[in-house]
Structure 1
Amino acid sequence: MIFSSIKNGDTFESYPKAIQTALDYLKSHDFASMEPGVYEIQGRDIYAQVFDAVTVEADSKHAESHEKYLDVQYLVSGKERLGFTKNTGNYKVKEHIKERDLIFYESVEDEGYIESRPGCFCVFFPSDIHRPEVISGESMKLRKVVVKVSVSLL
């Protein structure tokens, strides 16, 4: 997992090229004015999902992970907490939606949280279980972008 901000002036040169591509896309677009939807960056190898969501209590949001893609989650507006823990392979799967590369878990252990604000991004690898869109203070509407990067590019 990587947590940082595109506002910190870092060039991210030490990151894998595919993640640099995702971050360059995030730095160069005005997502507040874009319509929600899917935007291809490099076909289906790297693409962005722009959407609006509402934060909820952690117990009403299932922890999730992915196998074929990593997530670069970027917060455009609002604030949220992001849960995270290591994928030990020992957690009971609640639902596996293969066509969406999405695995939901019944419960996880040793979950930590980070606070995300506009400009923050978090890279979740397949080894990271994560729980996005958790209330930070009070429930609120968010604008988010999730750039999906195929792990085959790493």
Structure 2
Amino acid sequence: MYFGHISNVNNNGFPDAINIALAYLKNTDFDTLPAGCYEIKERLIFAQVLDLETKPKSEILPEVHRRYLDVQYLHSGQERIGIAPDLGNNQIAQAYNAERDILFYQDAENESELIMRKGNFAIFFPEDIHRPACIDQQSSNIRKVVVKIAISEI
């Protein structure tokens, strides 16, 4: 997992595919772009623009992906994201869905939290459990962009 701010990115530390994703996040006007899915490099790198309302942590299942990593960018609002390493000790709530590339756990052992503010991004690899869109202080509407990068691109 990596955490940072879009205004302060060291491109020398990332593979090209992640640099492509970060450049897209930095250079796209998400105030005018409708929610939806946008291909950056076919289905190998694509963005999901999401308008969400944060919810209590207890209402959101922790998740992992196997074929893609997530670059989650908070464009507006505030949220908390639960994070934990996937050590194989968590009870599965919903089995892996290959079409959606997602597995949900009932809970996440030794979970910590990221506090996300406008401009923050976090990169989640397949070994990183994450529980996005949790309330930070009070429920709020957020706009976030999730760039999905096929592991084969790394």
- The answer on whether the counterparts of 1:69 and 1:149 sit within 8 Å (CA) in structure 2 is yes
Aligned to 1:44: 43
Corresponding residue of 1:133: 133
Per the alignment, residue 79 of structure 1 pairs with: 78
- 2:2 maps to 2
CA distance in 2 between counterparts of 1:136 and 1:49 reads: 22
Give 1:88 shift.
Answer: 0.6
Aligned-pair CA distance for 1:135: 0.4
Q: CA deviation at 1:11?
A: 3.6
How far apart, in 1, do the equivalents of 2:93 and 2:43 lie?
A: 26
CA distance in 2, matches of 1:112, 1:122: 14
User: Structure 1: how far apart are the matches of 2:97 and 2:13?
Assistant: 33
Contact 2:89 2:109 in 1 (8 A): no
Partner of 2:88: 89
> What SS does the aligned partner of 2:152 have?
helix
C-alpha distance in 2 between matches for 1:92 and 1:111: 14
Identity among equivalent positions (%) equals 44
Using the TM superposition, give the Cα deviation of residue 92 of structure 1 relative to its aligned residue in structure 2, in angstroms.
1.7
Q: Could you report, residue by residue, the CA deviation over 1:72-131 in whole angstroms, capped at 9, with x for unpaired residues?
A: 000010000011000012222111222100110011210000110111000000000000
Letter in 2 for 1:102: I
Contact kept, 8 Å, 1:32 with 1:143, in 2: the verdict is no
- Answer yes or no: is 1:59 the counterpart of 2:58: yes
* Unaligned runs of at least 5 residues, structure 1: none
Q: How many residues align?
A: 153
Partner Cα separation in structure 2 for residue 51 and residue 60 of structure 1: 18
Cα distance in 2 for residues equivalent to 1:61 and 1:105:
10
* 2:98 match: 98
AA at the equivalent of 1:3 = F
RMSD of the TM alignment (CA)?
A: 0.8
Question: Match for residue 117 of structure 1?
Answer: 117
- Distance, in Å, in 1 between the alignment partners of 2:89 and 2:66 is 15
Give the AA of the match of 1:145. Answer: V
Structure 2 segments unaligned to the other structure (5+ residues): none
- The answer for the alignment partner of 1:35 in structure 2 is 34
* TM-score normalised per structure 2: 0.97
